[in-house]
Amino acid sequence: MNKQTLVEAVAAELKSTKSHAERAVDTVIRNLKKGLKKDKAVQLIGFGTFRLKLKKARRGWNPKTRTPLNIKASKTIGFKVSKEFKKTL
């Protein structure tokens, strides 16, 4: 499922227009981003938890030339599925 099919599903479920559904989906995504930035985690009971993870700087290599290089520290998002949601899969 991509964003467009999600918007269509939300519009059908709410018996609303696609533009209203897209605003709703965009609002949820925007607030997930804000929550991760502020609190480092967003927990949705019955769905799962999004958590900000920090990757340390490390040594790596170019697989093509095998020359060593330094990989900068970075941020990523992890997601842990709730037990209830996992049971439905």
48: left (phi over 0), alpha (psi -120 to 50) or beta: left
Q: What is the pLDDT of residue 27?
A: 97
- pLDDT, tens digit (0-9, with 9 covering 90-100), for 49-60: 999 999 999 999
- pLDDT, tens digit (0-9, with 9 covering 90-100), for 16-44: 999 999 999 999 999 999 999 999 999 99
Q: How far apart are CA 34 and CA 42, in angstroms?
A: 9
pTM: 0.76
Q: What is the pLDDT of residue 83?
A: 94
| Strand locations in the chain (E) | 41-44, 48-55, 58-61, 68-71, 74-81
Split at pLDDT 50, 70, 90, the class of 65 is very high
